[in-house]
Structure 1
Amino acid sequence: MYVFDDRMHERAVFSSQRSTHTLMLIRSDFAQCQKDVPAQSKVPSAPSPPLRLRPAPPPLYRTFPPTRVFTSPTSPQTDYESIYRSFLSPLNLYHPNPTHYATVTSPRGHDRLSPPSTLLYLRKLSNDPSYISPRAGEPLTPIISRMHLLTSSLHPTTAAEQRSFLALFEDVSRQARFEVQNALHPENVSAQHKAAVEMLRARYGQMIGLLKSESNVDKLTGLLDADEVARFLEVHELLVAEENLLEMVGKSYAGAFPRL
């Protein structure tokens, strides 16, 4: 039987494995750091973009914010990038630049987009890979249903059922990997929409919540071999990382206009 206990996860993050528990500690440290920032730097309506300092801005920052000062790549990292990197580096998923750049951002404070720009932004949200789509959580629905079915069954799951679910679980990881390396990259988070981010976070939260039960984990992995369990753990760690990043972005960086 394989269990996601705290000891396993604490060893994992700082050695060859990573853990949910330690990732949560990192997020807690980040929250404490945020409390220590002077009040003027934490205006809720206009948080500072978590952009890594670059010698030249990506497309998003040609218009927002106009006063941003870009320096050399060796400059100190912003808080978000430090946390982002601490999540993804142990998973070998960190890249200094996203594959896709968001080019239209949601406004901050009392600013509003013009009607044409609003329509463009909504199209970007739904179709551009650099944004979290409001429909991003839809592919997770059947997988969550399958998790409920297997974990609530009165009969023991078979090895075939567990391997079938592992294949579905790994499909989820491909979506999550793309999201963390693009939409949730420090270059793009200020372009995300709060509602879309929170809807996706809720879906990942459902999946992670089901894995907090020892009996549920046993029903999903108890008959898998060691290599298969390792693959399962890798997906779990990635989902925990994305769920934490989504929560940070939704609370501090994503915009809320226009209403979805």
Structure 2
Amino acid sequence: MASPKTIFKVESEAPSLRLAVLIDADNAQASVMEGLFAEIAGFGEATVRRIYGDFTSSQSASWKKVLNQFSIKPVQQFAYTSGKNATDGTMIIDAMDLLYTRRFDGFCLVTSDSDFTGLAVRLREEGVTVIGFGEQKTPSAFRTACHKFVLTEVLRPTAAPEPSLDRPPSSAIELSASASTKEVVSQGLPALPMPFIRDAIEQSSGDDGWAHLGTFGQYLSKLKSDFDSRVYGHRKLSDLVRARTDVFDVQDRVSPGSDQKVLYVRAKAPKG
């Protein structure tokens, strides 16, 4: 097998991974597939696209159009008994079969189920990149087992609100999954986890305390696999650090040997 290759998504990186996308239909929603595959395209090429579930049930009706639109291969698993263990087992077996073909650099596991934690750990042990996609309810065990975890809430499209003269502008912050993904709206954004932010800057910075944005982004992913600037109201990490002047100092520096500018960041010292 080729040497292990773990690639974290940073703004300056080009897609380079050959990916197998495996979707747990019992724990995923058809409405996020457009945003999901736009997000995956930022990591690499989805060469295998499979979804697992009982597509004879009435609950699976929403998947029919999506399967054709995104060329997803359905893997039928009849619900012989209550629960979804059979579906999980089929997806895990297929993942291992695909792993041993040695044709893939990474796996995208689309599920909010902690039962796939062991699979994510096993895939990582083989040196392939594991990218998880799931809802906010996804247990931390599965999130941390992935190299990168993306909340599907930031991928869900919503219709733009009708303008109205009778109400003030909404305070909701628009988010975008990627340049090709529809905008979504989120309210009640969480506070930045400052101890974690400061730790990442400290580990990625030089002696002067300044960190290259790309290096800082890599450490964020290493320390917290589910960190995503969109959760905090900004499409890119660069947008986040520029907007939060209460938290970050930023500098645009000219790259040696070229006219291009690169962004450096450091945490502001606590007041008091």
TM-score, structure 2 as length reference: 0.26
- Higher RCO (CA 8 Å, separation ≥ 6 residues): 1
TM-score, structure 1 as length reference: 0.26
Structure that is richer in strand per residue: 2
